[in-house]
Structure 1
Amino acid sequence: MIKALIFDFGDVFINLDKDAMNSRLKDFDIHELPEALHAKNREYEQGFVTSDEISENYRTEFPNMASEDFVDSWNSILLDFPEYRLKFLQKLAEEKDYLLILLSNTNENHINYIQENVSFYEDFKNCFDAFYLSHELGMRKPNPEIFEHILDTHELEPSECLFIDDTRENTEVAERLGFHTWNLEPTREDVIDLFTTKKELF
């Protein structure tokens, strides 16, 4: 029996263009990031690096990039947040049939941008019983410890949870831990179709 619905944020609720930053970086003649910067990105998602530090890391590596250029490029991944998805979530919250949990790999720059540009962000956040952002938690998907943290904190069994995420690597780890999963494909699926797409669980 499903007791908890655990949602990713990007490409589940807010639409993303995951290639946008690479496209923006090409404007600065940057075609590939060194592995050291990829590692810093992962640290930033876990809150181990500050927003100023990640900006400085990029600008040290690429001196022709100004601070505002970095932030604009970084946030270019974020697109629109269709309000009908908020309404779907609000209905779930009102019905109170499931524990609603957000579990997102994100960072301070992205959340600040969303807070400034999504007028109903606080309404969205208030729908959840728990709201976990990787940079606040100090952990990121697909590390098993972040899933175990959810289970321990909320006294849940993996078989009682449905985890919805657009990244295959994340759902594969959750599956190995015993979670039910939906690896949502954003180009052809929508979270509002949850109860028809995964009807065998409900």
Structure 2
Amino acid sequence: MIKNIIFDFGDVFLDLDKAATKRELERLNISEFSEEMLINNLQYEKGLLSSEEFISAYCESFPQLSAQKFTDSWNAILLKFPEHRLRFLQQLSKEGKYKLILLSNTNDIHIDWVKENIGFFEDFKNCFDAFYLSQEINLRKPDKSIFEYVLKEQDLKPEETLFIDDTPENTAAAAEMNIHTWNIDPATEDVVHLFQVKKELF
């Protein structure tokens, strides 16, 4: 029986356009990225670079970039948060049947945008018993260590836990640890249908 539900954020609650940042940078004639820059992206998600260091690295590599142009391009991936998903989560929280946990690979620039543009972000956050952002815990999916961290921190049993994420590598990593998973397809599925889609677990 499921007692704990771990949710991803992007493309589970917050709609994303994952190709948007690449597309916006290409409009500025930026299409090739060094290995160092790709490593920087991962380091930034783990909170091992500050936003200032991260933005400066891009602007130094591409003189046509300003900090604002880069930030706008970086945030282009973020779309909207449909309120029916908040209502679904609030109802789950109110019922109190499950421990609710958020586990997201994200970064400070994206979270700053969310706080500015999603008026109910604090209401969303308050629905969870634990709220883990990759840059705050210096870990990221699909590394095994992030799942070990959450299981230990929250004293969870994998067989009593469901993890919902749109990225196959992330759900595969969780499944290897005997965590139940839903690799949600944001194009055809909605988290609010959780109890219909995964009814065999509940």
Pairwise TM-score range, normalised by the shorter structure? over 0.9
Q: Structure 2: how far apart are the matches of 1:77 and 1:32?
A: 18
Within a 5 Å distance, the mapping from 1:138-153 to structure 2 comes to 138-153=138-153
1:91 aligns with 2:88: no
Q: Structure 1: how far apart are the matches of 2:76 and 2:35?
A: 21
Q: Structure 2: how far apart are the matches of 1:27 and 1:75?
A: 15
Moved runs in structure 1, 4+ residues, more than 2 A? none
1:68-112 Cα deviation digits (max 9, x unpaired): 001000000000000000000000000000000000000000000
Match of 2:172 in 1: 172
Q: Normalising by the residue count of structure 2, what TM-score does the alignment of the two structures yield?
A: 0.99
Deviation at 1:32, TM superposition (A): 2.2
Q: Secondary structure at the match of 1:37?
A: helix
Q: Structure 1: how far apart are the matches of 2:34 and 2:8?
A: 27
Q: Structure 1: how far apart are the matches of 2:7 and 2:169?
A: 15
Q: Which runs of 5+ in 1 are unaligned?
A: none
Q: Normalising by the residue count of structure 1, what TM-score does the alignment of the two structures yield?
A: 0.99
Match of 2:42 in 1: 42
Q: Secondary structure at the match of 1:164?
A: strand
Q: Secondary structure at the match of 1:195?
A: helix
Q: Secondary structure at the match of 1:110?
A: helix
- The one-letter code sitting in structure 1 at the alignment partner of 2:53 is E
Within a 5 Å distance, the mapping from 1:1-202 to structure 2 comes to 1-202=1-202
Q: Structure 1: how far apart are the matches of 2:32 and 2:21?
A: 11
Number of matched residues?
202
- The one-letter code sitting in structure 2 at the alignment partner of 1:164 is I
Q: Secondary structure at the match of 1:6?
A: strand
- The one-letter code sitting in structure 2 at the alignment partner of 1:91 is Q
Q: Secondary structure at the match of 1:5?
A: strand
Percent identical: 54
- The one-letter code sitting in structure 2 at the alignment partner of 1:166 is D
Deviates more, 1:147-156 or 1:41-50: 147-156
Q: Structure 1: how far apart are the matches of 2:13 and 2:54?
A: 26
1:176-200 Cα deviation digits (max 9, x unpaired): 0100000000000000000000000
- The one-letter code sitting in structure 2 at the alignment partner of 1:113 is W
Q: Structure 1: how far apart are the matches of 2:156 and 2:74?
A: 35
1:103-153 Cα deviation digits (max 9, x unpaired): 000000000000000000000000000000000011000111110111111
Q: Structure 2: how far apart are the matches of 1:82 and 1:34?
A: 36
- The one-letter code sitting in structure 2 at the alignment partner of 1:12 is V
Q: Secondary structure at the match of 1:89?
A: helix
Report the RMSD for the aligned CA atoms in angstroms.
0.6
Q: Secondary structure at the match of 1:79?
A: coil
Q: Structure 2: how far apart are the matches of 1:116 and 1:91?
A: 24
- The one-letter code sitting in structure 2 at the alignment partner of 1:195 is F
